Amino acid sequence: MLSSPAGELVARFLIGGIIVSLFAVIAEMVRPKSFAGLFGAAPSIALTTLGITIVQHGKNYAAIEARSMICGAIAFVLYAAAVSWLLMRYKTRALATTVGLLPLWLAASLAFWFFVRN
Amino acid sequence: MMVQAKLASLKGIALHEWAVRFFFGGAVCVAAGLIARRFGPGVGGLFLAFPAIFPAGASMVEAHEKQHKARAGFDGTNRGRTVAGVDAAGAVLGSIGLAGFAVTCSICLPLFSTAATFGLATLVWVTLSITFWLLSKSRIFRHMRGGKTTLHAFRNP
C-alpha cells in the first residue's frame, strides 16, 4: 500500500483518522475538562506520520522531522494559551477563536524553526 | 480533584462529530506528508504538532455545555465558552508534553527500535502532561495565581 504515492496518502488518511479518533474517545471519556484538554495536544498526528516516514525514508529522516516538531509543539503552547485566555476572558466563540488563531501557530512555529536553524 | 473515566460520556456524541474528527485527523496527516515531500523534513516536521482536531474539539465542548445548560432552562453560552477555555488550558499542558515527545523521538529514533522509541516518547508525553496538570492544581500554583481563579470556579465542568 505504501509503495505507490496514492496508496501512501490513503494509508496516511486512514491511519491518521483512526489514531486521532482513538485519542478523541479518551478525551471524551475523562473528567475534569482541564484533564481531558491534555488529549487535545496528543501526539496522534506525530505517531502516524513518523511511523509512515520511517517505513519510507528511514529513522534518521524521521528524527529530522521530530527535531522540527519541537518548534511546532512550543508554538502549540503559545497558541493554546492564547485560545484559553480569549475564551475565558472575552467569551469569544470557540470555533472562530481556535480557527482564527491558527496563523499564530504557523507564524510562531516558523519563527522558532528559523531561529533554531540559523 | 479526582480524574474519572466514564463510558457513558460517549453516548451523547453524534456520529457526524466522530466523522469530523476522523476526517480532520486523516486530512492533517495527508497534508503533513505532502508538505514534507514539497518543502523537506524541516518544515514538514512542524506540522507533526499541528493543532489538528483542537478547533473541532473545542467547538464541540462549547456546544455540548450549551445544550446541557439549555436542557436545564438556562442560556449556557458563556458557560460553554468558559468550559472550552478550560479545555484549552489543558491543551497548553498537553503541548508541553508534546514537546517532550518530540525531543525523545529526535534523540532516540537513530539509536533504538521504532517501537521502543514510540513507547518511550508516549510515556514521556503522558508523564510530562500529567505532572504539569497536577502542578497546575497544586496549592503553590493556586497561591501564585492569587487564590481562586476562573479555572477553579469551574472545577467540575
Domain segments of chain A: what residues?
Answer: 1-57, 69-118
Helices (H) and strands (E) in chain A, counts: 6, 1
CA A52 to chain centre: 16
**Where does the pLDDT of residue B145 fall: very low under 50, low under 70, confident under 90, or very high at 90 and above?**
low
Residue B133 in contact with residue B68, Cβ under 8 Å?
Answer: no
Q: Give the nearest chain B residue to A46 (CA atoms).
A: B48
Number of other CB atoms surrounding residue B40 within 10 Å: 14
Average pLDDT taken over every residue of chain A: 92
Interval A35-42 mean pLDDT: 92
Cell numbers placing B20: 469530523
Residue B110 in contact with residue A58, Cβ under 8 Å?
Answer: no
Give residue B112's pLDDT: 96
Residue B94 in contact with residue A37, Cβ under 8 Å?
Answer: yes
* Residue extents of the structural domains in chain B: 78-157
B77 vs B83: CA distance, rounded Å: 10
Ramachandran assignment for B147, one of left (phi > 0), alpha (psi -120 to 50 degrees), beta (any other): left
ipTM over 0.90: yes
Give residue B101's pLDDT: 98
Interval B60-70 mean pLDDT: 85
Q: Do A45 and B47 touch (CB under 8 A)?
A: yes
Res B78 pLDDT > 90: no
Span of B47-56, B94-103, B123-132 with lowest mean pLDDT? B47-56
Contacts of A28 in chain B (CB under 8 A): 9-10, 13
Interval B39-45 mean pLDDT: 93
B35 in A contact zone (CB under 8 Å): no
Which of B10, B28, B30, B48 is the mutation pick for testing A, counting most A CBs within 10 A?
Answer: B48
What is the nearest CA distance from A117 to chain B, expressed in angstroms? 9
Residue B95 in contact with residue B48, Cβ under 8 Å?
Answer: no
Res A69 pLDDT > 50: yes
pLDDT tens digits along B22-37: 998 899 899 988 998 8
What is the nearest CA distance from A39 to chain B, expressed in angstroms? 7
Interval A87-93 mean pLDDT: 93
pLDDT tens digits along A50-68: 999 999 899 999 999 999 9
Q: Do A68 and B45 touch (CB under 8 A)?
A: yes
Q: Do B23 and A17 touch (CB under 8 A)?
A: yes
Give residue B152's pLDDT: 46
In sequence order, the β-bridge partners of residue A31 are B4
Give the predicted TM-score (pTM) of the model.
0.89
B122 vs A51: CA distance, rounded Å: 13
Which residue spans within chain B are E strands per DSSP? 4-5
A110 vs B77: CA distance, rounded Å: 35
**Where does the pLDDT of residue B150 fall: very low under 50, low under 70, confident under 90, or very high at 90 and above?**
very low
Q: Is the dihedral of CA B144, B148, B151, B156 positive or negative?
A: positive
Number of other CB atoms surrounding residue B58 within 10 Å: 30
Torsion angle of C-alpha atoms A59, B118, B56, B145, degrees rounded to 10: -120
Collapse the DSSP code of B5 into the 3-class scheme (helix H, G, I; strand E, B; otherwise coil) and give the result. strand
> What radius of gyration, in Å, describes the C-alpha atoms of chain B?
19
pLDDT tens digits along B93-124: 999 999 999 999 999 999 999 999 999 999 99
Which candidate from A13, A59, A76 shows the least CB-CB separation from B114? Answer: A59
Q: Give the nearest chain A residue to B28 (CA atoms).
A: A45
Report the candidate in B41, B122, B117 with the shortest Cα–Cα distance to residue A49: B41
Give residue B153's pLDDT: 41
